[in-house]
Amino acid sequence: MSLPSEAEDMDKIRVAVIDDEELARRILRELLAAHSDVEIVAECANGFEAVKASAELTPDLLILDIQMPKLDGFDVLELVGGKTPVIFVTAYDSYAIRAFKIHAVDYLLKPFSAERLAEALGRARERIRSREGPPVRDLLSTARTDRKPIQRVLIRDRADVHVIPVETIDYVESQDDYVAVKSGGHSYLKEQTMADLEALLDPRAFVRIHRRYVLNLARLARIELAVTDSRIAILTDGTELPISRTGYARLRELL
């Protein structure tokens, strides 16, 4: 029996299958076996495993279920980023499907046929060849339009995921295209703009007090005057943050 050539091996599409249902993973495994250029490099039963597999194995394609406990498909997409093409899988024809259509990200509606999977794989091959990943920021913005303010912030640290409940956040600091989330004496760096994160937080609990800072109102101890009639926020742990004039106006509306 001859071994596959290096060229043949390079043409393989390395796929990670992510679904919390074992039966769904088995069906995908059987259907994908019909495609000689597809190699399953990981089967993940939850979002944490998916993030770890993506970091360690760098698959060419994710086949990703939306409805999963703890970390759903949206969470995984946010943590993995926009470099890897994704075929989404869902049992519900809802607002998420409309979002995928708008942003030309393929999806499979359960139960799907072998023909429908083959069609999705064909589109994925084109994405992989063009090195075009999903427009993650636009997709998440559209898909989460009807969602309530987030209850937690997810931050990826290589293959690990930090889950930070929003009520434990002290404040958030902008650092160019990143934000530093300060919580319980720790600082967690997240690849996200301040504007994007601020839009997901409850505006009744978090306020932009400065172009660089968003404050959890529950952490505000007092406001003090500083030099040149400027103001600073004193947090319950003694941290001092500058307050801009616009930020002070926002604070007055909420306090």
pLDDT, residue 204, reads 95
Establish how many alpha carbons lie within 13 A of residue 117's alpha carbon, considering only the half-sphere containing its beta carbon: 20
Lookup result for tokens 């990200």: 105
Q: Mean pLDDT, 10 residues at a time, over the chain (255 residues)? A: 43 94 96 97 96 94 91 88 84 70 72 94 88 64 67 90 96 94 95 91 96 97 88 96 95 90
Residue 110, token pair as written in the block: 């359960």
Instruction: Give dist(CA 230, CA 216) in Å, integer.
Output: 20
**Domain ranges, ordered by start, for the chain:** 6-143, 152-254
Residue 89, token pair as written in the block: 């899988």
pLDDT, residue 230, reads 87
pLDDT, residue 128, reads 87
Q: Would you tell me which CATH number, out of the four given (3.40.50.2300, 3.30.2320.50, 3.30.450.20, 3.40.50.720), belongs to the domain 6-143?
A: 3.40.50.2300
> Is the domain defined by 152-254 classed in CATH 2.40.50.1020?
yes
pLDDT, residue 141, reads 62
Instruction: Give dist(CA 51, CA 161) in Å, integer.
Output: 8
Task: Return the amino acid letter for 203.
Answer: P
Residues in CB range of 51: below 8 A, 6 or more apart: 71, 76, 79, 80, 156, 159, 161
**pTM for the whole structure:** 0.78
